[in-house]
C-alpha cells in the first residue's frame, strides 16, 4: 500500500533544493527533534483530561525523581500505553520512546496515528510538521553559539535574545509546527534562523482605517496610512505586493518584529503556528489605546518592580487580515549596563542553573504577579510575555510585561481597591471568576515561565518554597500553595477543534510533598 510522504521527507526534499548544505545536519537533528516533540506529547498524555484515557498508574520511584519509574496508561478501548514517568514541569528531559501494546514508538506523529483517537489524524500531521521544523531550526544553529553565564558574551540587542530561542514553546507538542510555510519561508522568516525580513508598507486611505492611539508620521503618506505587512501575509492572504518596505528582525512570536529604531510591530499573520490563528481583530485594535493607558495606571501599584510596555498605535483596514500594532521595545526599561531578557531566553544566560538565582527570580515574579492579582489584574506571564531586567552581573532586578491582549481584569477586585475600570476594555478580558483569574496567572507564570526556567519539579519546588515564605498571606497565595496547579491542556485543545476557548488540566502541586 502506498504511504504518503512524511513531513520529514517533504522538508528534506525542499531543503535539498533550497539549502542543500543543511541536509546532513537536518538529518542528524531528526532523532533529537522527535524526542523533543514526543516529550511534550507524552506530558499531555500523562496529565491532561483526555476523554479516551480510562486510567493512569505510576510505578517505581518517588514523585519528580529522574530516570526512575514508569507510567502505564490504560485506554478506554482496553489498549495499554506505557513510558517513563512524566515530570510535568520538566522542560529539558527527553522521552525517546513509548510503547503501545508492546510496539515501540519514537515518532510522535506515528504514535498519534496509531492511537486512532478522534481528530488524531490532523494532530498527527501537526506533530510531523513540528518535528521537521524543529530539526530544521536546530540544524541552522551555529554550534559555537552556546549558553554562557558571562554577560560579555550575551546578545547586545533585544531581537538577538529572542532569536536564541530555538525549540519554541517548552511544553506544547506543536512547538515548531508551521503549516503553510515552505522551507524557504521558514528560513526567511523564522526568528531562530536569524533573518532580516522586509516588511511591506501597504498604503491604505486613512478614512478607510480604524486607528487607536495615533499613528506615527513616518508611517503615513499624505492622506494614506502605511500599514506594515508581513511578506507571508502579502503573498498568501492579501495576494498583492508592496512597493514600499522596511527591514525588520523577527521576534519569538514570528509575526512580531523589531523595526529600525527599536519599535516593535505586531503584524497580521493569518496562519496557525501552535494552537490557533493569531490574527489582529478589529476589536483588539479599537481597544489598544485604552488597554495601554490602563496598564500604565497599574505601574505605581507594582512599587517599581514592574514595567508594562506602552502601545504606540494600532491600525486596521477594518479587517483582521490587514492590521498592525506598534509598541515599545522592552529594552527601554533597562538602564545602562542592564540586560532585559525574555524569560524564555534565560537558557542563553546559563543563570537558572543556580538555585539562589532561581529563588530570587521566583520571589520577584510571584510577588509582582500576586500583588496585581489581588488588585484585580491577572497577567498571562509566560516566558514570551514576561521579561526580567538583570543587573550587569545577572541579578534579577525588575520585570517587564508586554502584550496586554490576553490579560484578565476583575471589576469587583479593582473596585475594592478604589481603581476605576476605564471604558473601552474588551468584554472578553473582564471577569470576576476567581478560578479564571488564578488560572490565567498561575498557569502562565508558575506552570509556564517559572517551571521553564527551573527545568523540573525539584528545582521549581525549591524556588517556590523560598519565594512564598516572604509573601503576604492572601487567599490567592493559599490557593497557589494548596491546590493543584492549573495549566492549559495543550494536547486536549488540539484534539478538540470544535470546542472554542481554553481547556485546562490540573498538575500536581510542586509545593505539596504528597504530590497532589
Q: What's the pLDDT tens digit per position in 469-485? A: 989 999 999 999 999 99
Angle at 266 between CA 261 and CA 267, to 5 degrees: 115
Q: Of 99, 128, 153, which marks where a domain is finished?
A: 153
Tell whether 287 is covered by a domain.
Answer: yes
Do 366 and 280 lie in a common domain?
Answer: no
Query: Which pLDDT does position 451 carry in this prediction?
Result: 96
Residue 193: pLDDT above 60?
yes
Pairing of strands 306-308, 396-401: parallel
**Residue 112 per-residue DSSP state:** H
Residue 210 domain boundaries: 196-328
Residue 196: pLDDT above 90?
yes
Query: Which pLDDT does position 347 carry in this prediction?
Result: 85
Q: List the grid coordinates of 406.
A: 490576553
Do 13 and 149 lie in a common domain?
Answer: yes
The fraction of the chain above a pLDDT of 70, given in percent, is: 96
State how far the Cα of 438 lies from the Cα of 375, in Å rounded to an integer.
Answer: 13
Tell whether 383 is covered by a domain.
Answer: yes
Residue 410: pLDDT above 60?
yes
Query: Which pLDDT does position 190 carry in this prediction?
Result: 95
Do 291 and 353 lie in a common domain?
Answer: no
Q: Of 96, 119, 153, which marks where a domain is finished?
A: 153
* Sign of torsion over alpha carbons 110, 113, 117, 118: positive
Query: Which pLDDT does position 143 carry in this prediction?
Result: 82
For the residues of 414-428, what is the DSSP string, one character each?
HHHTT----TT--GG
Q: What's the pLDDT tens digit per position in 310-351? A: 999 999 999 999 999 999 999 999 999 999 999 999 988 878
The strand pairing partners of 319, in sequence order, are: 322
Q: Say if CB 193 and CB 387 are below 8 A apart.
A: no
For residue 243, which of 234, 233, 254, 251 has the smallest C-alpha distance? 234
Q: What's the pLDDT tens digit per position in 201-250? A: 999 999 999 999 989 999 999 999 999 999 999 999 999 999 899 999 99
> Which H helix or E strand runs over 504?
strand 504-507
Domains contained in the chain, number: 3
Q: What's the pLDDT tens digit per position in 24-65? A: 999 999 999 999 999 999 999 999 999 999 999 998 754 444
Residue 396: pLDDT above 70?
yes
Do 284 and 324 lie in a common domain?
Answer: yes
Do 80 and 16 lie in a common domain?
Answer: yes
Do 99 and 220 lie in a common domain?
Answer: no
Query: Which pLDDT does position 5 carry in this prediction?
Result: 76
Q: What's the pLDDT tens digit per position in 131-171? A: 999 999 999 998 877 788 788 888 889 999 999 999 999 99
Q: Say if CB 507 and CB 47 are below 8 A apart.
A: yes
Tell whether 263 is covered by a domain.
Answer: yes
Do 319 and 339 lie in a common domain?
Answer: no
Do 402 and 465 lie in a common domain?
Answer: yes
Residues 76-97 have a mean pLDDT of: 93
Residues 359-366 have a mean pLDDT of: 97
Do 209 and 253 lie in a common domain?
Answer: yes
Residues 304-308 have a mean pLDDT of: 97
Confidence grade of residue 442 (pLDDT, cut at 50, 70, 90) = very high
Average pLDDT of the chain, as a whole number: 93
Q: b/e per residue, 80-113, with b = 16+ CB within 10 A?
A: ebbbbbbbbbbbebebeebebeeeebebbbbbbb
Q: Say if CB 86 and CB 43 are below 8 A apart.
A: yes
Q: What's the pLDDT tens digit per position in 65-83? A: 444 689 999 999 999 999 9
Do 277 and 312 lie in a common domain?
Answer: yes
Q: Of 282, 310, 328, which marks where a domain is finished?
A: 328
Do 117 and 65 lie in a common domain?
Answer: yes
Tell whether 498 is covered by a domain.
Answer: no
Tell whether 160 is covered by a domain.
Answer: no
State how far the Cα of 185 lies from the Cα of 164, in Å rounded to an integer.
Answer: 19
Do 472 and 342 lie in a common domain?
Answer: yes
> Which H helix or E strand runs over 56?
strand 53-59
* Sign of torsion over alpha carbons 267, 268, 269, 271: positive
Q: Please tell me the least confidently modeled range out of 15-19, 299-303, 349-353.
A: 349-353
Query: Which pLDDT does position 348 carry in this prediction?
Result: 81
Residue 295: pLDDT above 80?
yes
Query: Which pLDDT does position 222 carry in this prediction?
Result: 95
Residues 407-425 have a mean pLDDT of: 93
Amino acid at each position: 500500500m502506498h504511504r504518503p510522504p512524511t513531513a520529514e521527507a517533504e522538508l528534506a526534499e525542499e531543503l535539498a533544493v533550497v539549502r542543500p548544505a543543511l541536509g546532513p545536519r537536518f538529518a542528524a537533528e531528526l532523532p533529537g527533534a522527535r524526542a523533543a516533540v514526543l516529550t511534550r506529547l507524552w506530558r499531555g498524555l500523562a496529565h491532561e483530561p483526555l476523554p479516551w484515557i480510562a486510567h493512569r498508574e505510576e510505578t517505581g520511584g518517588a514523585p519528580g525523581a529522574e530516570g526512575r519509574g514508569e507510567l502505564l496508561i490504560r485506554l478506554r478501548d482496553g489498549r495499554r500505553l506505557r513510558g517513563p514517568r512524566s515530570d510535568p514541569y520538566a522542560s529539558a528531559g527527553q522521552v525517546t520512546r513509548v510503547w503501545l501494546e508492546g510496539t515501540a514508538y519514537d515518532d510522535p506523529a506515528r504514535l498519534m496515528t496509531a492511537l486512532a483517537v478522534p481528530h488524531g489524524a490532523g494532530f498527527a500531521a501537526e506533530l510531523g510538521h513540528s518535528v521537521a521544523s524543529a530539526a530544521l531550526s536546530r540544524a541552522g544553529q551555529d554550534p559555537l553559539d552556546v549558553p554562557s553565564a558571562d554577560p560579555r558574551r550575551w546578545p547586545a540587542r533585544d531581537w538577538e535574545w529572542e532569536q536564541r530561542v530555538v525549540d519554541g514553546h517548552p511544553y506544547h507538542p506543536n512547538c515548531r509546527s508551521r503549516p503553510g510555510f515552505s522551507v524557504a519561508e521558514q528560513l526567511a522568516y523564522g526568528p531562530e534562523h536569524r533573518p532580516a525580513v522586509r516588511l511591506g508598507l501597504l498604503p491604505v486611505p486613512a478614512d478607510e482605517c480604524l486607528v487607536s492611539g495615533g499613528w506615527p508620521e513616518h508611517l503615513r503618506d499624505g492622506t494614506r496610512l502605511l500599514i506594515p505587512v508581513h511578506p507571508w501575509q502579502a503573498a498568501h492572504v492579501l495576494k498583492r505586493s508592496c512597493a514600499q518596505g522596511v527591514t525588520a528582525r523577527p521576534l519569538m512570536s514570528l509575526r512580531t518584529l523589531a523595526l529600525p529604531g527599536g519599535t516593535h510591530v505586531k503584524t497580521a499573520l493569518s496562519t496557525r503556528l501552535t494552537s490557533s490563528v493569531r490574527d489582529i481583530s478589529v476589536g483588539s485594535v479599537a481597544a489598544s489605546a485604552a488597554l495601554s493607558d490602563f496598564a500604565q495606571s497599574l505601574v505605581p501599584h507594582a512599587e517599581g518592580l514592574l514595567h508594562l510596555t506602552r502601545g504606540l498605535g494600532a491600525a486596521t483596514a477594518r479587517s483582521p487580515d490587514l492590521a498592525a500594532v506598534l509598541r515599545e521595545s522592552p529594552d527601554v526599561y533597562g538602564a545602562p549596563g542592564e540586560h532585559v531578557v525574555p524569560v524564555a531566553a534565560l537558557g542563553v544566560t546559563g543563570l537558572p542553573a543556580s538555585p539562589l538565582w532561581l529563588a530570587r527570580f521566583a520571589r520577584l515574579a510571584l510577588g509582582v504577579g500576586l500583588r496585581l492579582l489581588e488588585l484585580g489584574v491577572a497577567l498571562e506571564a509566560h516566558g514570551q510575555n514576561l521579561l526580567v531586567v538583570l543587573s550587569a552581573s545577572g541579578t534579577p532586578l525588575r520585570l517587564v510585561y508586554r502584550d496586554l491582549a490576553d490579560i484578565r481584569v476583575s471589576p469587583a477586585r479593582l473596585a475594592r481597591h478604589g481603581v476605576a475600570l476605564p471604558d473601552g476594555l474588551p468584554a472578553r478580558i473582564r471577569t470576576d471568576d476567581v478560578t479564571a483569574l488564578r488560572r490565567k496567572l498561575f498557569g502562565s507564570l508558575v506552570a509556564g515561565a517559572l517551571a521553564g526556567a527551573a527545568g523540573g519539579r525539584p528545582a521549581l519546588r525549591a524556588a517556590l518554597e523560598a519565594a512564598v515564605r516572604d509573601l503576604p498571606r492572601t487567599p490567592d497565595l493559599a490557593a497557589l500553595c494548596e491546590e493543584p496547579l492549573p495549566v492549559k491542556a495543550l494536547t486536549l485543545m488540539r484534539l478538540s477543534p470544535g470546542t472554542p476557548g481554553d481547556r485546562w488540566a490540573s498538575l500536581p502541586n510542586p509545593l505539596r510533598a504528597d504530590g497532589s
